[in-house]
Chains A and B, each alone.
Chain A
C-alpha cells in the first residue's frame, strides 16, 4: 500500500534527502505563495457577503494549500538516495547457527530451519540477482560457508559483536554494500560494544536484521544473573543476589536453591512476579571451608517449562585461607566490649585484637600476637595501622586521637580498603565530638554537633526492608523465620540517636524507642576502597544475657557483621577479573593492583602468575603495567580448555616480595546458549537503527531485497527519484479541490 501511494519503499524516504531539481530559486516559492494567498484573500473579501466569515476562511485555506502544492510540484521535487550499483557490490549474509537457533518455536519449526528456508526461497534469489552474496555462519565468530543448508544449530555461543567486527575487517578488501543478519539476537557477551557499532558507522555499512523466535517463551523460568561475592571467609554466610525472569508462571511458588556438588546449601521458597518482569531475590547460604567453591544457583524445574537448562547458573566463590585481623579500640570497660569478644571466641577465621582504656592512663590489650603489639597505644603510622583488616572504634572521644590519627582512620577505609565500625557510647559520635572531626565524613549517617543523643534506656530493634535481605542480619537461614526471630529479640540496653542516612548508605536495622521515632541502629556504606558501618547502640549484650545460653543469635550477628567488615579488605596484591565463570569463552582479562605497606600504588614492579590448568599443567604469565593507572598491572589470558584454573600471582620489586594473591576461575562450555534463548528483538532493532539498517520479521523480510540497495556503503551512485508523480500527490490535490467544491455546493456558492 505504501509503495502504491508513495511510489517507493519507506527506506527511500528514511535514508534519502529531499531535493528540488528546478533551476529557479527556492525563495521564489514563498514569495509566489504569499502573492497567491493575498490575491485569493482579496477575491474572498469581494464576495464576503455570500457566505459567513468562517466558511470564507476555509475556502481560502483550501485554495491556498492547493496553490502551495502546485508550486512545490513546479519546482520539481525529488528524493536523492545512494543506491548500490548492481553486480558491483557484496552483501554479507550472516546466519546464526548457535544452539538457541535449534529451538523449535510455536510454528513447530526450528529457528535455523525457518531462516534457511527464508534465505533460500525469498532472499537469495533477489539478492543474487543484483549482488555478490557472501554467506557466513555465525556463532562465536563469522565463518564463511558456501551453502546455508550445511549449517547446523551447534554453536556453543553467539557473539554478534565479534562476528560483525570480523565482517567489518574484511570490508577493506571488498565493496561491502550491506550486511543481512538472520538471528534470534541471543548474544552471550552482554550486548554489542560501542566500538563495533562505531566501526560499522564509519564504513557506513547498514546491518539489516531478521529476528527469529518468540520474544518470550510461553512457559519459562530463567536465572538471568546471580551476583555473589568473589571472596569469603571460611564458614561465612554469603548473600547471593539472584535476578529471575519468567513467563507463564505469575504468582507461582517455586524453590530457589544454592547447591554445591548436588548438596543443598540453602533452599528458599519464592513467589514469582508478573510475566517478563525481572525480579531480584536474596539467597543466603553458608559457604564452608577454605578453597574454591563452585555453587549452582537455580530454581527447581516446574512442570511445563519449555527450557529447563536456563534454570541454573554456576558461580565461583574463593574462600580465603587468610585470617583477617580486626583492631578494636574501646574507651572504657563496658559490657558490649566483653560480649563482642565472647561472640568471636569460637570463630577461628577472625583475630580480634583489642585495647581498652581501663583508667585514664592504662590500656589493657587482648588478643595481641606479641607483647610489643600496640605497646605504644593506637598506631600513629599507616604501615602500623594498615596491617589490620578491620577497625572497631568504641566509646572513644574523637580528641583522644591526634589529627594525624583521625586522618589515618579515614585513610584506613579510603585508601587501604579496610572496614571501619563505629559503636555508640557516652563519648561516641555526637557526645564524642565526631561531628567536627574528619571521621564524620566516613559515617553512613549524619550526626548533630551538640544535641544529647546518648540514652541509657532499653529499646526495641527492628529490621528494615534492606535488613531482611542482608547476610549481616540473617540469624536464621530461612527469611521468614529470621524476621520472626528479630521481632522477638530482647531490647538493647541503650542507644544513640543519629540523623538520616547519607546517600549511598543502607540502613539495615532501626531502633524503636518507646514513644519516639525510629532511628537508624545499623547503617552501612562503601567509603573509598573500603566500607564503614555504624551500630548506634552499645547494648546488644542483652541479646546474650536475656536468651537461653545455647542461643547463638548474638554471636551470629557479631560474627557476620565483623566478617562483612573484613571479607573484602584487600591485601597488598589484589587480583580481579570481570567474571570468574567463563561461559563458552576463554578470554579472561586480568587486573592486579599492587600496593606497598602504606597502600600506595607501586610502579615498576614485576608481576608474574603461575597458571595451573585443568589438565594439571602449569604455565607462567607476566603482567604489564597499565599505562594510565599507576600500580595496576594487566594481561589478557586465554583459557582454551573447559575446567577449573588457578592463578597464583606474585609481585616483586628489587627482589623484595610485595605480596601474593590467588585467583580461581572456570571455563564452562555448552551452557551459554541455554540462556536468553527467546528472541532479543530489542538488541536486533537497536543494531539496525544504529547502523542505518532495518529490522525485519520473517514475514516482512521479502521487502528487504528491494530496500537493501539503498546504502551509502560499497560502490554506489546517487540517484534523484522524482516524487512529483507520486499517486499520493494527486490524491491530495483532488481532496483539496473536491472538498472545496462539495462544500461550496452545500453552502450554495458554486
Chain B
C-alpha cells in the first residue's frame, strides 16, 4: 500500500507525458489524409484539394511550453469544408474532393501545391520538417497562414518561419498586387475577427489591433507564403452560417481565400 500512491503518481505522469506528446504533435484532431465531411464531398480525385498542414506545436520562443494559440487543427473540419463549398460554387476550379490533412513529415505534400496552416504562432519544426517545407515552397508550393495575433505570436511565428526560409523577407502586400485582383477586386480590407467577436464585440485578440496582409516572395517577386496576421479567417469561414457572426467578415474572408487560391494556381 505504501507504494500505491507513488506508483499511481508515476502512472499518471507517464500517461500525461504520452498525452502531452500526442497533443503537441497532433492536437486532438483526426489523423492525416482525405476526410469526407458530408455528402457534398465526393470520394474522387480532384485538381485542387483544400489541404491543411499538420505540424508540431512546440515551445515557442524557447521559453517553455505554451498552450496559447491552439494547434494545427483549429476550426477543422467546418472551416475547410465551408471554404470548399464556396470554391465549388463560385469558381471553375475542379474540387469535388474531400478535405485533406497533410502531415509535415509526409513527402506527399508535394502533390498538393496549396496548403493552409492555422495557429502558426506555436508551430515548431525539426530540421527535416523545416527542410521539407522549404523544398515545398521552393518547388512551387504555396502556403497560406492564418490566426495569430500580437507581437509575441509574430515573434514565435517568425522563429518557425526562420527555420523554413532563413533569409525570408516579409513585406506588406500592396493593394495593387494581383493577389487582390485575380478573382475579386478586393480594394477594401478590414480586420476579420474570430468567433469571440460575437460575445465580446472585439475584432482583435491579444495586442493584435491592426490587421496585416503580408507575404514572403520568391526571387521572381511571386508570393509564396501569404500571411494573414491579426485576423482569423478560419473562424470567419466556420461561423459564416451563424446568424450572430456578421456576414461582412465572412464575405471578405471568403473573397480573400478564393483570391489566394486562384493566385496560387496562376502564379
Which residues of A approach B to under 8 Å, CB–CB? 331-335, 337-339, 341-342, 345, 356-360, 362, 364, 366, 426, 456-457, 493, 541-542, 544-549
- Bound-complex Cα distance A426 to B266 (A): 18
Closest-CB distance, A391 to chain B (whole angstroms): 19
Decide: A335 near B91, CB < 8 A? Known: A364-B182, A366-B266, A457-B45.
Answer: no
Interface: B139 (CB within 8 A) = yes
Query: Among the listed A364, A542, A548, which residue makes an inter-chain contact with B262, where contact means beta carbons less than 8 Å apart?
Result: A364
Flag if B47 contacts A342 (CB, 8 Å): no
Query: Among the listed A364, A366, A545, which residue makes an inter-chain contact with B140, where contact means beta carbons less than 8 Å apart?
Result: A545
Closest-CB distance, A491 to chain B (whole angstroms): 10
Query: Among the listed A360, A456, A545, which residue makes an inter-chain contact with B113, where contact means beta carbons less than 8 Å apart?
Result: A545
Known: A334-B265, A545-B110. 8 other contacts (CB 8 A): A333-B265, A337-B265, A338-B113, A338-B267, A359-B90, A542-B110, A544-B139, A546-B139
Q: Which residues of B contact A356 (CB under 8 A)?
A: 266
Decide: A358 near B140, CB < 8 A? Known: A338-B265, A548-B135.
Answer: no
Interface: B172 (CB within 8 A) = no
> Which residues 177-201 of B sit at the A interface, judged by CB distance below 8 A?
182-183
Which residues of B approach A to under 8 Å, CB–CB? 44-48, 90-94, 110-111, 113, 135-136, 138-141, 182-183, 220, 261-262, 264-267
Flag if A342 contacts B140 (CB, 8 Å): yes
Closest-CB distance, B86 to chain A (whole angstroms): 12
Flag if A332 contacts B113 (CB, 8 Å): no
Closest-CB distance, B241 to chain A (whole angstroms): 22
Closest-CB distance, B43 to chain A (whole angstroms): 12
Q: Which residues of A contact B48 (CB under 8 A)?
A: 333-334
Return 23 A-B CB contacts under 8 Å, by A number.
Answer: A332-B94, A333-B48, A333-B265, A337-B265, A337-B266, A338-B266, A338-B267, A339-B140, A359-B90, A359-B92, A362-B183, A364-B183, A364-B266, A366-B266, A456-B46, A457-B45, A541-B113, A542-B111, A544-B140, A545-B141, A547-B139, A548-B139, A549-B138
Decide: A357 near B140, CB < 8 A? Known: A338-B267, A362-B183, A549-B135.
Answer: no
**4 interchain residue pairs of minimum CB distance:** A549-B138, A456-B45, A333-B265, A332-B92
Closest-CB distance, B186 to chain A (whole angstroms): 14
- Bound-complex Cα distance A358 to B90 (A): 9
Closest-CB distance, B143 to chain A (whole angstroms): 14
Q: Which residues of B contact A544 (CB under 8 A)?
A: 139-140
Flag if B220 contacts A345 (CB, 8 Å): yes
Flag if B92 contacts A357 (CB, 8 Å): yes
Flag if B183 contacts A338 (CB, 8 Å): no
Flag if A545 contacts B111 (CB, 8 Å): yes
Query: Among the listed B45, B92, B138, which residue makes an inter-chain contact with A358, where contact means beta carbons less than 8 Å apart?
Result: B92
- Bound-complex Cα distance A546 to B138 (A): 11
Flag if B91 contacts A359 (CB, 8 Å): yes
- Bound-complex Cα distance A276 to B172 (A): 71
- Bound-complex Cα distance A542 to B113 (A): 10
- Bound-complex Cα distance A339 to B266 (A): 8
Provide the main secondary structure of the chain B interface: loop
Flag if B262 contacts A358 (CB, 8 Å): yes
- Bound-complex Cα distance A342 to B220 (A): 10
Q: Which residues of A contact B136 (CB under 8 A)?
A: 545
- Bound-complex Cα distance A657 to B111 (A): 52
- Bound-complex Cα distance A334 to B265 (A): 6
Q: Which residues of B contact A545 (CB under 8 A)?
A: 110-111, 113, 136, 139-141
Query: Among the listed A337, A426, A546, which residue makes an inter-chain contact with B110, where contact means beta carbons less than 8 Å apart?
Result: A546
Closest-CB distance, A338 to chain B (whole angstroms): 5
Query: Among the listed A339, A345, A358, which residue makes an inter-chain contact with B182, where contact means beta carbons less than 8 Å apart?
Result: A358
Closest-CB distance, B111 to chain A (whole angstroms): 7
Closest-CB distance, B84 to chain A (whole angstroms): 15
**Chain A minimum-CB-distance residue to B141:** A545
- Bound-complex Cα distance A426 to B220 (A): 31
Q: Which residues of A contact B267 (CB under 8 A)?
A: 338, 341
Flag if B92 contacts A360 (CB, 8 Å): yes
Flag if A333 contacts B266 (CB, 8 Å): yes
Q: Which residues of A contact B265 (CB under 8 A)?
A: 333-335, 337-338
- Bound-complex Cα distance A341 to B222 (A): 12
Q: Which residues of A contact B46 (CB under 8 A)?
A: 456
Closest-CB distance, A567 to chain B (whole angstroms): 25
Q: Which residues of A contact B93 (CB under 8 A)?
A: 332-334
Closest-CB distance, A115 to chain B (whole angstroms): 70
Query: Among the listed B44, B91, B92, B140, which residue makes an inter-chain contact with A541, where contact means beta carbons less than 8 Å apart?
Result: B140
- Bound-complex Cα distance A426 to B96 (A): 13
Closest-CB distance, A365 to chain B (whole angstroms): 10
Q: Which residues of A contact B262 (CB under 8 A)?
A: 333, 358, 364
Decide: A333 near B111, CB < 8 A? Known: A345-B220, A549-B139.
Answer: no
Closest-CB distance, B34 to chain A (whole angstroms): 13
- Bound-complex Cα distance A331 to B182 (A): 15
Flag if A334 contacts B183 (CB, 8 Å): no
Flag if B139 contacts A333 (CB, 8 Å): no
**Chain A minimum-CB-distance residue to B107:** A546
Closest-CB distance, A520 to chain B (whole angstroms): 22
Q: Which residues of B contact A345 (CB under 8 A)?
A: 220
Flag if B92 contacts A335 (CB, 8 Å): no
Q: Which residues of A contact B110 (CB under 8 A)?
A: 542, 545-546
Flag if B111 contacts A493 (CB, 8 Å): yes
Q: Which residues of A contact B138 (CB under 8 A)?
A: 549
Query: Among the listed B92, B141, B182, B266, which residue makes an inter-chain contact with A341, where contact means beta carbons less than 8 Å apart?
Result: B266
- Bound-complex Cα distance A362 to B47 (A): 19
**Chain B CB within 10 Å — which of A359, A366, A542, A547 has the most?**
A359
Q: Which residues of A contact B266 (CB under 8 A)?
A: 333, 337-338, 341, 356, 364, 366
- Bound-complex Cα distance A443 to B111 (A): 30
- Bound-complex Cα distance A721 to B106 (A): 100
**Chain B minimum-CB-distance residue to A342:** B140
Q: Which residues of A contact B135 (CB under 8 A)?
A: 548-549
Closest-CB distance, A198 to chain B (whole angstroms): 64
- Bound-complex Cα distance A212 to B220 (A): 67
Closest-CB distance, A548 to chain B (whole angstroms): 7
Q: Which residues of A contact B182 (CB under 8 A)?
A: 358, 364
Flag if A333 contacts B91 (CB, 8 Å): yes
Q: Which residues of B contact A426 (CB under 8 A)?
A: 94
Closest-CB distance, A424 to chain B (whole angstroms): 12
- Bound-complex Cα distance A546 to B140 (A): 10
Q: Which residues of B contact A364 (CB under 8 A)?
A: 182-183, 262, 266
**Chain A minimum-CB-distance residue to B142:** A338
**Chain A minimum-CB-distance residue to B46:** A456
- Bound-complex Cα distance A345 to B183 (A): 22
- Bound-complex Cα distance A359 to B138 (A): 28
Flag if B183 contacts A358 (CB, 8 Å): yes
Q: Which residues of A contact B94 (CB under 8 A)?
A: 332, 334, 426
Closest-CB distance, A538 to chain B (whole angstroms): 8
- Bound-complex Cα distance A493 to B44 (A): 14
Flag if B91 contacts A338 (CB, 8 Å): no
**Chain B CB within 10 Å — which of A358, A457, A542 has the most?**
A358
Closest-CB distance, A343 to chain B (whole angstroms): 10
Q: Which residues of A contact B261 (CB under 8 A)?
A: 333
Q: Which residues of B contact A366 (CB under 8 A)?
A: 266
**Chain A CB within 10 Å — which of B93, B113, B135, B139 has the most?**
B139
- Bound-complex Cα distance A334 to B44 (A): 17
Flag if B139 contacts A335 (CB, 8 Å): no
Q: Which residues of B contact A493 (CB under 8 A)?
A: 111
- Bound-complex Cα distance A541 to B138 (A): 14
Q: Which residues of B contact A359 (CB under 8 A)?
A: 90-92, 183
- Bound-complex Cα distance A629 to B153 (A): 76
Closest-CB distance, A339 to chain B (whole angstroms): 6
Decide: A338 near B111, CB < 8 A? Known: A356-B266, A366-B266.
Answer: no
- Bound-complex Cα distance A710 to B111 (A): 84
- Bound-complex Cα distance A549 to B265 (A): 18
**Chain B CB within 10 Å — which of A333, A337, A549 has the most?**
A333
- Bound-complex Cα distance A75 to B17 (A): 128
- Bound-complex Cα distance A456 to B45 (A): 6
- Bound-complex Cα distance A376 to B91 (A): 20
